[in-house]
Amino acid sequence: YILSFVYALILDNKKIKNGEKFKPVGTIAAIPCGILTVLVFLVPDFIRQNPTVLLAYMIILALVQGGCFYFGNTVNMVAMVMSPDLKERENEYPLTTPTAPGDEFTVTESLAVSQGKLCIGFTTPVPSAMSEDYPALMVYNSIFGGGAHSKLFMNVREKLSLAYYAGSSYERSKGIIIVSSGIESKNFEKARDEIFLQHKAMTEGDITDTELSVSKKALINSLKAAGDSVGSIAAFYLSSILQNMTLTKEELAERIDSITKDDVVRVGKNIAPKTIYFLKGADR
């Protein structure tokens, strides 16, 4: 217990020297863990005399100590989220989203990393899964960056070698598309421009029949695979309930299969980049 407490203090002391804030709440976990450790050695005589009771006693202590450990870890994460450092960071970069078309908000940060991180947030005309254009947006995202068949993967990563990885995902609870890529910091402008170029190409109808077919099949197969486990089924219907979506997996698959190239282009024309985040190496 004493070693755990001192160790936590040493770590926080190092954080203070690095300009971070002291988070004493994270050391709370050491208190019950220390008490339980002491109880392991202070076993009453009536428990020692009964092997079955002794085994149960040790198992209970182990379970409770494990619970305290994970509880302490959770408390520490909560303390980190509530730290003044992050509050100051929120003030520096207000959580506001521009609404004017083409009005992009760029955030650049530096960190001692070897691989840069480029993320671009796109607003969409589909605020939730209740929208009639939800299946069309799913197909758009699949063609754009939804897998190894996508334009981002084939062009940004494979053809031009501008990224270690590149892809996009649709956050249906927020109605946005997020492009995520790992790049060399020197390739920031090239990678960003190529991502925008691929988006523009889709809005102009540069979508082949093969891209459309493969993307729809990938989505439909993903829905079918969701039925392979109870957890996947529960996750699908839980998210559907939260989004007030009444479509079943089968109905959604039928909607996806009926999507045409014109549907994808029409939805894509109302998708616009809004936030660009770039994490670059501090020494670059």
CA-based nearest residue to 12, from 3, 4, 23: 23
Q: How many residues does the chain have?
A: 284
One-letter amino acid identity for 180?
S
**110, 280 Cβ separation under 8 angstroms:** yes
pLDDT given at position 230: 79
Distance CA 170, CA 176 (A): 6
Alpha helices in 171-248 (DSSP H): 188-203, 209-225, 230-242
**pLDDT beneath 50: ranges in the chain:** 1, 16, 22, 25-26, 81-90, 92-101, 284
**260, 135 Cβ separation under 8 angstroms:** no
- What is the dihedral angle through the alpha carbons of 168, 87, 94, 124, rounded to the nearest 10 degrees? 30
pLDDT given at position 51: 84
What is the average pLDDT score of the chain? 79
Distance CA 66, CA 62 (A): 6
pLDDT given at position 240: 82
pLDDT given at position 9: 56
Question: Considering Cα of 51, then 57, then 60, then 61, what sign does the dihedral take?
Answer: negative
pLDDT given at position 157: 93
pLDDT given at position 284: 46
pLDDT given at position 3: 55
DSSP-based three-state secondary structure for 248: coil
From the CB of residue 78, how many other CB atoms can be counted at a distance below 10 Å?
A: 13
pLDDT given at position 16: 45
DSSP string across 73-94: HHHHHHHHHTSHHHHHHHHHS-
pTM of this prediction? 0.64
CA-based nearest residue to 150, from 118, 192, 128, 180: 180
Token readout for 220 is 């439909």
Alpha helices in the chain (DSSP H): 2-17, 30-41, 45-48, 51-81, 84-92, 134-145, 151, 188-203, 209-225, 230-242, 249-257, 261-268
Distances (CA, A) of 75 to 11, 35, 78, 187, 230: 16, 18, 5, 39, 31
CA-based nearest residue to 36, from 72, 11, 74: 72
Question: Reading across the β-sheet that carries 165-171, which strands appear in turn?
Answer: 105-111, 272-281, 116-123, 176-183, 165-171
